[in-house]
Amino acid sequence: MLLFEDPVFSSRMLTLLTLTFHVIFATLGVGLPLMIMIAQWVGIKKNDLHYIMMARRWARGFVVLVAVGVVTGTAIGLQLALLWPNFMELAGHVIALPLFMEVFAFFFEAIFLGIYLYTWDRFENQRKHLLLLVPVAVGATMSAFFITTVNGFMNAPAGFNIVDGQMTGVSPIEAMFNVATPTKVAHVISTAFMTAAFVLAAIAAYRLIRGSNHVYHKKALHMTMKLGLIFAVATAIIGDFSGKYLAEHQPEKLAAAEWHFETEEEAPLILWGVLDDDQKVRYGIEIPYALSILAHNDPSAEVIGLNEFPEEEHPPMFVHYLFDIMITIGMWMIVLSLAYWFAMRRGWNFVKKNWFRWLIVLGGPLSMLAIQAGWWMTEFGRQPWILRGVMTVQEGATQSDYVGHMFFVFAGLYLILGIGVAVVLRKVFKNHPVEKELAEQGGDQS
């Protein structure tokens, strides 16, 4: 089995496994603090206990997710050195700064999260308690920022020169603010907010389908769908900038994602389809000029094709489907949340029907799937490089034995953690139904 024989392949697979699992918790960990903050703020402003209760309940779920995020984050932090020692030695010289600062950002977040959680009833003034969330949200967002700059660096190495195998002229700041950083960071953060909002909306919609007619869930659904819409639109705009970044600086990744082989003007955008042996796409949805617009904001612009690059530097062709999954879900979520928002304004009743609420429920996992597809697409799309143009994954990987065994050990660990999270979250909310908790707080108006 390849997994046991080739340490490079098994290192890739173990990294894929850990990151795929970690990204679920990292994304929600970045996105949820803002949602909690907004809910509590609205609650204080409107003097509405329901919103305060949302903040309280979401925070309870958030902590469980953060804990698993810490655990898997520690795992990936260590695995980077264990699986990619050569890469980390090189990267350590240039990009260690944001990795180091990420720890500070997380530390900052963790301290205030601890204080926030244990001080719900210790402040006379609710606003002071809300203030504690600011460092939590800032810390979470900064963590995402720092880590994403490292990923940007892997795609667009900057801030150093290699002369005769010797590294010179290192500038950590230049490495951090490489050309990939702005679009990548913006994309990661806005999708985290979007996903967190749609996951919360899915939960609220599910409660409503399951017969709870409580206004608490309706308020939660309404607020999260609106927030989801805002961030979904922001994501689409940032996605457009990401396309332009790729066309300019990583044309091979865009070309592979688009199955765009020959350099041409007035390039169409192809969604889905099947690729045959002659680089022809069948059954695809072709949108004329769209790729030229995505790449250069000009329908007649020239877009570089994949055949300009040597074959051994081609990313795998399946990244096209990952790209399509991401785009399709992103567009669908805009349509869905826009329809919800518009219908609510107009008082159209179809959004309150169960079939529509099921679509919202489905939107939660779909958003998470889009996040996964996006990360897979950016990572597979960088192949064969670990540090684009400088070091391949082959050169960066460990030569250790037993990496394949570790893959199965960690798969088991993540399975247990995943089941544990699901069970615990279910228990936490089942044992404290919102109706009961609202009654205890003594302010249920409905």
Partner 1 sequence: MSYELIGMVVLWTFLFGYVIVASVDFGAGFFNAYSLITGKQHILTKVIQRYLSPVWEVTNVFLVFFFVGIIGFFPSTAYYYGSILLIPVSISIILLAIRGSYYAFETYGNKGHRGYAFMYGATGLILPASLSVVLTISEGGFVEMTDNGPFLDYWALFSSPLTWSIVVLSVTAVLYISAVFLTWYANRAGDFEATKVLRRYALIWALPTIVTAGGIVYELRSHNPEHFESLMNLWWMFAISIVFFLFSVWFIWKKKNYGVAFILLIGQFAFAFYAYGISKYPYLLYPHLTVHDGVTNDAMAISLIVAFVAGLLLLIPSLYLLMRLFLFDDKYVSGKK
**Of residues 69 and 364, the one with the C-beta less far from partner 1:** 69
Distance in Å, CB of 182 to partner 1, minimum: 20
In the structure encoding, which two tokens stand for residue 335, read together? 């349509």
Distance in Å, CB of 394 to partner 1, minimum: 14
Locus of tokens 């059954």: 283
**Of residues 150 and 267, the one with the C-beta less far from partner 1:** 150
CA distance 259 to 306: 8
Distance in Å, CB of 107 to partner 1, minimum: 5
CA distance 405 to 419: 22
Closest CA to 189 of 250, 116, 138, 223: 138
**Of residues 104 and 318, the one with the C-beta less far from partner 1:** 104
Distance in Å, CB of 320 to partner 1, minimum: 34
**Of residues 131 and 331, the one with the C-beta less far from partner 1:** 131
**Of residues 7 and 31, the one with the C-beta less far from partner 1:** 7
CB 83, CB 128: distance < 8 Å: no
> Under the rule (CB under 8 A), what is the footprint of partner 1?
60, 63-64, 66-68, 70-75, 77-79, 81-86, 88-94, 96-97, 99-104, 106-108, 110-115, 117-119, 122, 135, 167, 170-173, 398-400, 402-403, 406, 409-410, 413, 417, 420, 424, 427-428, 431
Q: Burial of 383 by CB count in 10 Å (0-12 exposed, 13-18 middle, 19+ buried)?
A: middle
**Of residues 352 and 427, the one with the C-beta less far from partner 1:** 427
**Of residues 95 and 270, the one with the C-beta less far from partner 1:** 95
What's 390's DSSP letter?
T
Closest CA to 392 of 308, 285, 296, 312: 312
Distance in Å, CB of 7 to partner 1, minimum: 9
Q: Which residues of 315-346 are buried (b: 16+ CB within 10 A; e: fewer)?
A: beeebbbbbbbbbbbbebbbebbebbbeeeee
Distance in Å, CB of 108 to partner 1, minimum: 6
Distance in Å, CB of 141 to partner 1, minimum: 15
CA distance 152 to 147: 9
In the structure encoding, which two tokens stand for residue 333, read together? 């979520």
Count of C-beta atoms within a 10 Å radius of residue 233:
17
**Of residues 33 and 284, the one with the C-beta less far from partner 1:** 33
Q: Burial of 276 by CB count in 10 Å (0-12 exposed, 13-18 middle, 19+ buried)?
A: exposed
Count of C-beta atoms within a 10 Å radius of residue 271:
18
Distance in Å, CB of 171 to partner 1, minimum: 6
**Of residues 193 and 414, the one with the C-beta less far from partner 1:** 414
Residue 69 Ramachandran class (φ > 0 left, ψ -120 to 50 alpha, else beta): alpha
Closest CA to 256 of 380, 367, 165, 173: 380
Distance in Å, CB of 84 to partner 1, minimum: 7
